[in-house]
Structure 1
Amino acid sequence: MNATDRTPADLLRSALAADPSRPLVTFYDDATGERVELSVATLANWVAKTANLLQGDLAVQPGDRAALLLPAHWQTAVWLLACSSVGVLADMGGDPAASDLVVTGPDTLEEARACRGERVALSLRPLGARFPEPPSGFADYAVEVPGQGDRFAPFAPVDPDEPALAFAGAGELTAAQVVERARTDAATREYTPVSRVLSGLPFDSWDGLSAGLFAPLAAGGSVVLCRHLDRLAPEALEQRRESERVTATAG
């Protein structure tokens, strides 16, 4: 974490400069048995490619609104940080009809069709695999992102005082406010660079977004992000805490 960081993308850049090889996001889906571990460098590469997709192929501009109809997932973390890199407002669970872009998982495709702008669909299958059959009217993220550049430079500087994050019933936060709140949460919860936070909270509120991404990132720590955690038996959850060296649990 750098004191001059004012956007979530800045936090990622500082993490990359500090230690690119350390784990940043370890993701479990307890409905499928999936486990994916992403280092800072690997996550940053996905973010750069996604930001290039946004800015280039999708022609999204700073100030545009992206409705993210996505669960707590490692690819959602990628999209949140990619939106921050471009200056796009990431609206978690936002109204597709009121957005310039919609990014959806497989369960909300029909809802996402209300967007008149660009539509991107994520299969959320293990290892970021493609849809078996591409959904009509949507770009398949897994098809579009691999060919994007590994480095990203915004066409225009991102203004940290512009809206960057929104979620239902809580208004909007600027990029600088996201960073400030993440730092406050990290300090309150006593997260440090060796903290490893396990979170099974959804990404539909600040608490879930903070625990599952922003606060550990601000502290220089890492997160064990779990989807469908309620399907895990108590003894298996305790084994996961031990095997993943978890230091704090959210929710």
Structure 2
Amino acid sequence: MNASDRTPADLLRSALAADPARPLVTFYDDATGERVELSVATFANWVAKTANLLQGELSAAPGDRLALLLPAHWQTAVWLLAASSVGVVVEVGGDPADADLVVAGPEKLEAGLACSGERIALSLAPLGRRFPAPPAGYADYAVEVPSQGDRFAPFVPVDPEAPALVVDGKEHSGAQLVAQARVDAAALGLAPGSRLLSGLGFDSWEGLSTGLYAPLAAGGSVVLCRNLDRLAPDALEKRVESERVTGTAL
């Protein structure tokens, strides 16, 4: 990655310029048997569409607060990078009542209704399927995002020193986030081409870093596993081997 990268969106742009075809996020849900692999280019396309949805359809602006009520999931990673692209502050597990908009999964839909702003629901079903009908009070992400543009440009340049993420009660600017991700990547021994398997949740900095930011900062990739406790130890060993994993965070 480039030394000049100062936001997560910068890191993604550098990854796209360096090698768009390489895997970036491989996602497993061991409750459903789902496996999804996204190249840098495919992931960046999802991020661009989601950022266009945020900025255009939802009228989100730099400094707006987004309560992110989603588990560790590839679509959660997309939302984190899309918010960074716009300058929206993501509050992981934040209070919807204090947020400008909320993004919620099936288990958090009722809680998300406390948000008086825009509400987006994700089914988190395999293949990104839509809900049979949009949940009351929400727009369905799977319905709204496909028609969005494949290229994104912010209306206002994102300030790397502005707040970007709140997790574990601590606020991080984009620049702080990138700097810490680089420190974490070095501590984990990550380098270009490294492949880190993470079974940690996204409700802590450690989980977010190992599940997205540190591999991205290192020029590596992540094998993100949800419901890993459903997997037998020998099956995990086989996954590590088949996915060419170079390190784990469990």
TM-score by length of 2: 0.99
User: Residue 224 of structure 1 aligns to a residue in which SS?
Assistant: strand
- 2:166 alignment partner, SS class: strand
Equivalent-residue separation in structure 1 for 2:186 and 2:108 (angstroms): 36
Contact 2:190 2:218 in 1 (8 A): yes
SS of 1:6's equivalent in the other structure is coil
Q: Secondary structure at the match of 1:71?
A: coil
Tell me the residue number matched to 1:246.
245
Where in structure 2 are the equivalents of 1:62-211 lying within 5 Å?
62-169=62-169, 171-211=170-210
| CA displacement, residues 180-225 of structure 1 (integer Å, 9 cap, x when unaligned) | 0000111111101121000000001110000000000000000000
Letter in 2 for 1:149: G
SS of residue paired to 1:165 = strand
Q: Deviations over 1:106-127 (max 9, x none)?
A: 1110000000000000000001
- Compute the displacement of 1:168 (Å): 3.4
Query: Are the equivalent residues in 2 in contact too, given 1:93–1:168 (CA < 8 A)?
Result: no
Q: Percent identity?
A: 76
Match of residue 46 from structure 1: 46
Q: Which amino acid aligns with 2:123?
A: S
Aligned equivalents of 2:68 and 2:83: distance in 1? 10
Q: Which amino acid aligns with 1:224?
A: V
Task: Please state if 1:19 is matched with 2:19.
Answer: yes
One-letter amino acid of the counterpart of residue 158, structure 2: V
The CA distance in 2 between the partners of 1:22 and 1:206, in whole Å, is 25
Name the SS for the 1:68 alignment partner.
Answer: strand
Per the TM alignment, residue 248 of structure 1 is displaced from its structure 2 partner at its CA by 0.2
Contact 2:199 2:225 in 1 (8 A): yes
- Aligned equivalents of 2:78, 2:149: Cα separation in 1: 15
Name whichever of 132-141 and 11-20 sits farther off. Answer: 132-141
Q: What is the DSSP-based 3-state SS (H/G/I as helix, E as strand, rest coil) of the residue aligned with 1:66?
A: strand
Q: Which amino acid aligns with 2:135?
A: P
Structure 1 residue runs without a partner (length 5+): none
User: Shift of residue 133 of structure 1?
Assistant: 2.1
Q: Structure 1 residues 189 and 168, CA, compared in 2 at 3 Å: closer, same or farther?
A: closer
Shift in Å, 1:134: 1.3
CA contact (8 A) 2:168 2:205 kept: no
> Whole-Å Cα distance in 2 between the matches of residues 208 and 189 of structure 1?
13
Distance 1:132 1:27 in 2: 23
| Distance in structure 1 (CA, Å) of the matches to 2:81 and 2:69 | 15
Which amino acid in structure 2 is aligned with residue 237 of structure 1? L
* Per-residue deviation, 1:136: 1.0
Give the Cα–Cα distance (whole angstroms) in 1 for the partners of residues 154 and 133 of structure 2: 33
| CA distance in 2 between partners of 1:47 and 1:185 (Å) | 23
Unaligned runs of 5+ in 2: none
**How far 1:37 moved relative to its partner?**
0.1
1:237 counterpart SS class: helix
Counterpart amino acid of residue 130 in structure 2: R
CA contact (8 A) 1:216 1:222 kept: yes
CA deviations over 1:78-116 (Å, ceiling 9, x no partner): 000000000000111000000000000011100000000
Give the conservation status (yes or no) of the 8 Å contact 1:27–1:74: yes
| Superposed CA RMSD | 0.5
